[in-house]
């Protein structure tokens, strides 16, 4: 019983972090308008910056303390790959976010798809922790899954972005 309560508390915290990601991206995309950047570059810059901050905060401390030990583990290499996937996911989330909040004229048919993809990408942390804990996947498998989904999501958001770029009637 206690384990279950602890489990859900951690999951809640992770979902909260995901929500904060979205909120932070929203802020960065909409509130920081002191430069005249085109929409294209804006989401790239925001996505990159966000992913960098996320990686540093999340992975620098364990890397510094743990990777200097005597024993070699593959964990830190896998964490690096995970950071790569995280970068792609952050950029795609920023792209979708910029589509949702910055572009006011979108084709109606694409709107639900955009929101769905944004939802999936935003809840990625919860999904990965569910895979690790609930289904008991090992770390390499989880990282592989993350890389795959990040590429898929990037492709989808790229298509959506270019679809919204096309001037339409």
Residues touching another protein: how many (CB under 8 A)?
Answer: 20
Please state whether 43 falls in left (phi above 0), alpha (psi between -120 and 50) or beta.
Answer: alpha
> What does DSSP assign to residue 35?
S
Tell me the closest approach of the beta carbon of residue 16 to another protein, in angstroms.
8
Range 9-28, binding another protein (CB under 8 A): 13, 17, 20, 23-24, 27
CA-closest candidate to residue 101, choices 24, 163, 15: 24
* CA pair distance 162, 129, nearest whole angstrom: 32
Near another protein by CB under 8 A: residue from 5, 72, 108, 162? 72
Near another protein by CB under 8 A: residue from 69, 112, 136, 167? 69
Range 92-151, binding another protein (CB under 8 A): none
Tell me the closest approach of the beta carbon of residue 112 to another protein, in angstroms.
25
Q: For another protein, give the closer residue by CB, 113 or 147.
A: 147
Question: How far is C-alpha 169 from the chain's CA centre?
Answer: 32
> What does DSSP assign to residue 21?
H
Of 69-77, 109-117, 141-149, 154-162, which part binds another protein (CB under 8 A)?
A: 69-77
Could you tell me if 88 and 154 are in contact, meaning their C-beta atoms sit under 8 angstroms apart? yes
Near another protein by CB under 8 A: residue from 57, 135, 136, 168? 57
Tokens linked to 94: 């920023």
Q: For another protein, give the closer residue by CB, 31 or 162.
A: 31
Tokens 């690790």 locate to: 132
Tell me the closest approach of the beta carbon of residue 134 to another protein, in angstroms.
18
Could you tell me if 117 and 156 are in contact, meaning their C-beta atoms sit under 8 angstroms apart? yes
Residues lying near another protein in the complex (CB under 8 A): 13, 17, 20, 23-24, 27, 31, 57-58, 61-62, 65-66, 69-72, 77, 80, 84
């Amino acid at each position: 019983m206690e384990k279950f309560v602890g489990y859900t508390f951690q999951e809640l915290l992770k979902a909260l972090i995901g929500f904060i990601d979205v909120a932070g991206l929203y802020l960065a995309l909409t509130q920081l308008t002191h430069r005249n950047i085109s929409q294209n570059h804006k989401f790239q810059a925001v996505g990159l910056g966000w992913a960098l901050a996320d990686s540093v905060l999340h992975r620098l401390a364990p890397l510094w303390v743990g990777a200097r030990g005597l024993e070699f583990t593959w964990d830190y290499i896998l964490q690096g790959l995970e950071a790569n996937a995280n970068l792609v996911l952050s950029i795609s989330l920023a792209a979708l976010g910029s589509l949702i909040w910055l572009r006011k004229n979108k084709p109606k048919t694409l709107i639900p798809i955009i929101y769905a993809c944004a939802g999936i990408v935003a809840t990625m942390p919860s999904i990965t922790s569910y895979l690790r804990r609930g289904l008991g996947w090992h770390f390499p498998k989880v990282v592989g899954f993350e890389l795959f989904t990040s590429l898929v999501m990037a492709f989808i958001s790229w298509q959506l972005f270019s679809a919204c770029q096309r001037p339409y009637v």
